[in-house]
Amino acid sequence: MVEPKLYKETVDRLKALGFPLELPLEVTHYIGGEFVRGENFFPVVYPATGEVIATAPEGREKEVDLAVAAAKEAFAKWSKMPPSQRRPYLRRFAEKIREWRPLFEVVETLDVGRPIHENRLGYVDRMANNIEFFADFAVTHGSEAYPMENGYINYVLRFPVGVAALITPWNMPTMLATWKIGPTLAFGNTAILKPAEFTPLGAWLLAKAAHEAGLPPGVFNVVHGFGPNSAGEFLTRHPDVRLISFTGETATGKVIIKNGADTLKRFSMELGGKAPNLIFESADLDRAVEVTMRASFFNQGEVCLAGSRLLVQRSVYRAFLDKLVAAAKALKVGDPLDPETRMGALIAQEHLEKVMSYVEIARKTATILTGGRRPELPHPFDKGYFLEPTVVVDVKPSDKVCQEEIFGPMVVVMPFDTEEEAIELANNTPYGLNAIVQTRDVGQAVRVSEALEVGTVWVNDWFVRDLRVPFGGAKQSGIGREGGHYGYEFYYEIKNVCIANK
Ligand code: NDP
């Protein structure tokens, strides 16, 4: 294994701050309350330097079988506990996450390459809230009763479903894991998390937090590995897994549904996006640029909700673009652990190449206003997977770069004249996760929001999340909604009892 210098330095720095933890150079599975050594390993690479900083084990049938058996055994007791008894465990888990905030902040950056600055904007709180919110929700929410006029009463009961496979992507790994862990466990199910192969460190730390919080063995398990013909696929085919909560690419979601069909699992699918960001002439342009910068380049643009298609009313097109290009050029790209950095590295060499292939298409068929190049950075960041923030114009709505999810710091910009044209352009992709509408005309905000075929619309902002509201995608961006009582429908089995009361 390559000498993981930077990784060690970080761990040492954390230890100097008084952290009791030692991160493993060899990541382990977490099965049945034990940290289990793997047999086959793959390297864990820090995206900002290309250095191997750890190794992670590939879970195969054996580890998946063990984890499912442990989760099944734990389910027998955990599912029978009233929510009020499960809540203290989950609160301790959330507290442990908060206590280890700086550690999670650094580990997330080592996993993802995201600037640590962005991890300090409430990311770790959100992780803890994801768990606490659903623990409280399960306690405070009851069920419905439907009296009938002819002497009957119906009442609705909710039961835990069983063993859940939680399959997560690499872009917001610990936040998305807790978004699934929270409702899964709070509603009495037990879980096996299969994190993305690129980001095993945060998942290991989550297991450590769950362990220290005293979660009963088997309630929460982590099996590392890959997707096809590896831990991911074995989990989705396992007959004792009842529920699959998946976040990832649309194409992967389709494969998982096929693989889980034989055992008729229930699926929640949070899939890809190609969100339109509509900027109308009445928008506050400075604010619109600020929102657009975040929506375009937060997490290097590796966000399912990224506003990667900018639709700008022609009367403000030039003025908006001038401001946007100036802001993009000023973005500080580089060392993600430097608190001043505002854009980090893409997740992996292969992903950088994928994003660069779209840049090359744009170079041939469109105009790159800014970006499109690897920034020149000092050693060791010259080996990292960086790309300048990239703004592309002169595109047609049917172009590949306007239709496909690029998942990097590259946005396309198209002008429009009328509200109707903007709506038509916005709806013109197979995706429908979310949209951004920037206008100071309230009537317009309402009309346009209603007409957009998406799961979420943000007006004059982006990525504001209230855990009570439904979250999920329309069209090819997903199936189902999670959040608040919407999660009730997915993470609980529902039964109606009809009683003759005469
Ligand atoms: P992928 O679909 O490639 O992978 C997601 C997870 O699925 C990973 O853990 C992956 O493992 C696993 N996986 C892959 N193939 C299979 C399989 N056949 N069976 C079981 N598991 C499998 O997505 P990315 O990790 O590349 O993440 C980026 C995608 O996620 C983007 O499309 C983005 O839009 C979407 N996303 C959606 C969100 C939403 O809320 N709608 C939020 C965040 C991201 P491995 O990593 O080992 O391949």
- Tell me: the pLDDT tens digits for 70-89? 999 999 999 999 999 999 99
Q: 288: which strand partners?
A: none
Asked if residue 481 has its Cβ within 6 Å of ligand 1, the reply is no
Q: Ligand 1 centre and the CA of 494: distance in Å?
A: 28
Determine the residue of 42, 201, 252 to mutate for testing ligand 1's pocket, defined as the one with the most ligand atoms within 8 A of the Cβ atom: 252
Q: Ligand 1 centre and the CA of 60: distance in Å?
A: 18
Asked if residue 404 has its Cβ within 6 Å of ligand 1, the reply is no
- The pLDDT score that the predictor gives to residue 502 is 79
Active-site annotation holder among 132, 304, 388, 405: 304
Q: Ligand 1 centre and the CA of 473: distance in Å?
A: 15
Kindly report the CA angle at 489 between 249 and 485, in degrees rounded to 5?
Answer: 100
- The pLDDT score that the predictor gives to residue 3 is 38
- CA-proximal residue: ligand 1, atom 38 (nearest): 304
Asked about 270 being catalytic, the answer comes back as yes
Determine the residue of 114, 126, 167 to mutate for testing ligand 1's pocket, defined as the one with the most ligand atoms within 8 A of the Cβ atom: 167
Burial (CB count within 10 angstroms: exposed 0-12, middle 13-18, buried 19+), residue 216: middle
**pLDDT for 491-500, tens place per residue?**
999 999 999 9
- The pLDDT score that the predictor gives to residue 24 is 67
Asked about 34 being catalytic, the answer comes back as no
DSSP annotation string for 174-220: HHHHHHHHHHHHHTT-EEEEE--TT-HHHHHHHHHHHHHTTPPTTSE
Asked if residue 478 has its Cβ within 6 Å of ligand 1, the reply is yes
**pLDDT for 117-140, tens place per residue?**
999 999 999 999 999 999 999 999
CA distance 468 to 466: 5
Query: Which structure tokens are listed for 329?
Result: 């050029």
pLDDT of 483 above 60: yes
pLDDT of 1 above 90: no
**pLDDT for 405-436, tens place per residue?**
999 999 999 999 999 999 999 999 999 999 99
Q: Pairing relation of β-strands 456-459 and 410-416?
A: unpaired
Label residue 480 left, alpha or beta by phi (over 0 means left) and psi (-120 to 50 means alpha): left
CA distance 479 to 432: 11
CA distance 161 to 333: 45
**pLDDT for 365-394, tens place per residue?**
999 999 999 999 999 999 999 999 999 999
Asked if residue 177 has its Cβ within 6 Å of ligand 1, the reply is no
Query: Which structure tokens are listed for 324?
Result: 């946007």
- The pLDDT score that the predictor gives to residue 164 is 98
Query: Which structure tokens are listed for 458?
Result: 């943000």
- The pLDDT score that the predictor gives to residue 53 is 87
CA distance 418 to 421: 5
The pTM of the full predicted model, rounded to 2 decimals, is 0.96
- The pLDDT score that the predictor gives to residue 107 is 92
Asked if residue 223 has its Cβ within 6 Å of ligand 1, the reply is no
Average pLDDT, the chain: 95
Mean pLDDT over 224-244 rounds to 98
Mean pLDDT over 447-460 rounds to 98
**pLDDT for 306-364, tens place per residue?**
999 999 999 999 999 999 999 999 999 999 999 999 999 999 999 999 999 999 999 99
- The pLDDT score that the predictor gives to residue 2 is 34
For helices 83-99 and 123-140, the axis angle rounded to 10 degrees is 170
- The pLDDT score that the predictor gives to residue 471 is 96
Are the beta carbons of 219 and 189 closer than 8 angstroms?
no
- The pLDDT score that the predictor gives to residue 23 is 65
Q: Ligand 1 centre and the CA of 475: distance in Å?
A: 18
Asked if residue 255 has its Cβ within 6 Å of ligand 1, the reply is yes
Q: Ligand 1 centre and the CA of 248: distance in Å?
A: 3
Asked if residue 180 has its Cβ within 6 Å of ligand 1, the reply is no
Asked if residue 268 has its Cβ within 6 Å of ligand 1, the reply is no
Report the percentage of the chain scoring pLDDT > 70: 96
CA distances from 1 to 55, 106, 339, 480 (A): 8, 21, 29, 42
- The pLDDT score that the predictor gives to residue 334 is 97
DSSP annotation string for 384-428: S-----EEEES--TTSHHHHS---SSEEEEEEESSHHHHHHHHT-
Label residue 32 left, alpha or beta by phi (over 0 means left) and psi (-120 to 50 means alpha): left
- The pLDDT score that the predictor gives to residue 20 is 61
Q: Compute CA 87 distance to the chain's CA centroid, rounded to the nearest angstrom.
A: 24
Reduced to 3 states, what is the DSSP secondary structure of residue 144? Answer: coil
- The pLDDT score that the predictor gives to residue 7 is 64
pLDDT of 487 above 90: no
**pLDDT for 267-310, tens place per residue?**
999 999 999 999 999 999 999 999 999 999 999 999 999 999 99
- The pLDDT score that the predictor gives to residue 5 is 63
How does residue 235 score in pLDDT terms, banded at 50, 70 and 90?
A: very high
Kindly report the CA angle at 316 between 279 and 403, in degrees rounded to 5?
Answer: 45
Q: Ligand 1 centre and the CA of 75: distance in Å?
A: 26
Are the beta carbons of 471 and 490 closer than 8 angstroms?
no
Q: Pairing relation of β-strands 41-46 and 51-57?
A: antiparallel
What type of residue is 395? V
Are the beta carbons of 93 and 215 closer than 8 angstroms?
yes
Burial (CB count within 10 angstroms: exposed 0-12, middle 13-18, buried 19+), residue 145: exposed
pLDDT of 238 above 80: yes
Are the beta carbons of 320 and 288 closer than 8 angstroms?
yes
Report the percentage of the chain scoring pLDDT > 90: 91
Active-site annotation holder among 51, 270, 388, 482: 270
Q: Look at residues 3, 55, 22, 51 and name the one whose alpha carbon lies nearest to residue 224.
A: 55
Asked if residue 335 has its Cβ within 6 Å of ligand 1, the reply is no
Label residue 221 left, alpha or beta by phi (over 0 means left) and psi (-120 to 50 means alpha): beta
